[in-house]
Amino acid sequence: MGTSSSNTYIDSGGQQTAPQDIVNELKSGLERFLDGQSAHPHATEARRHQLAGGQHPQVAVLACSDSRVPVEVIFDAGFGDLFVIRNAGNTNTFGSAGTIEYAVADLGIRVLLVMSHQGCGAVKAAYLTGQDFSPSLSELVNDIKSGLNNHGFSTDDQKTYEQACIAHSRITAEALVQDSDVIRDAVSNKTLLVQPAFLHIDPLSITWLEPLYGKD
């Protein structure tokens, strides 16, 4: 992704890139970052002028708001490359789903990366009892807890927490496909690949889970 001619994060000349090629570009960006060879693409004034008229990213990322998860940094991406949605726990909220639907229907993204991470505080909150959360935060935590419980995780057992953080990305990805007609139709028609993943913070690496593509 070091030059605009090889960058598959964005729509080049109106030509769509195969979803797996976009996932591979994410992996390449991560590899550059881990090797200390980040290209810092599309960070110029000329690039910003180019984008003034509109954006054409091919990949969206639903990630946690955690400050240890700087999406554009770890994937060595620049202006206009990634359409990023972040909230506590990378959860399937009403606002997140609507934003992703916009990215699918209006921007024509080909890949949705749903990325959870090591030590997620929002998932940890689902394991707490007797906590006095605000109404909005309670709704978010309860959604996470419900998803985990429905997939066989007991939030009464702290020993399952680490595995729950990993599974949470897949649970969220499946919920987005199930709950949204726009996302589900795009996945079924193979115009969108939904890629769950888990970010290990220390040492930094990503586990890529089984994608949702061409299936209900």
Per-residue confidence (pLDDT) for residue 80, from 0 to 100: 93
Secondary element (H or E) of residue 30: helix 19-34
Cα separations in angstroms, 87 against 51, 95, 133? 25, 10, 16
Overall size of the chain counted in residues = 216
Per-residue confidence (pLDDT) for residue 3, from 0 to 100: 39
**pLDDT tens, N- to C-terminus, the chain (216 residues):** 443 345 557 654 456 689 999 999 999 999 999 999 999 888 889 999 989 999 999 999 999 999 999 999 999 999 999 999 999 999 999 899 999 999 999 999 999 999 999 999 999 999 998 889 999 999 999 999 999 999 999 999 999 999 999 999 999 999 999 999 999 999 999 999 999 999 999 999 999 999 999 865
Per-residue confidence (pLDDT) for residue 216, from 0 to 100: 52
Under a CB-based contact definition with an 8 Å cutoff, are residues 213 and 172 in contact?
no
Q: Which residues contact 178 (CB under 8 A, 6 or more apart)?
A: 184
**Cross-strand pairs, 156:** none
Per-residue confidence (pLDDT) for residue 5, from 0 to 100: 40
Per-residue confidence (pLDDT) for residue 129, from 0 to 100: 84
User: What ranges do the domains of the chain cover?
Assistant: 4-208
Report CA 146 to chain centroid distance, whole Å.
20
What order do you get walking across the sheet with 59-64 strand by strand? 82-87, 59-64, 111-117, 193-201, 204-208
Domain 4-208 part of CATH 2.60.120.560: no
Distance between the two ends of the chain, CA-based, in angstroms? Answer: 32
Per-residue confidence (pLDDT) for residue 215, from 0 to 100: 63
Global model pTM greater than 0.75: yes
Q: Report the SS3 class of residue 119.
A: coil
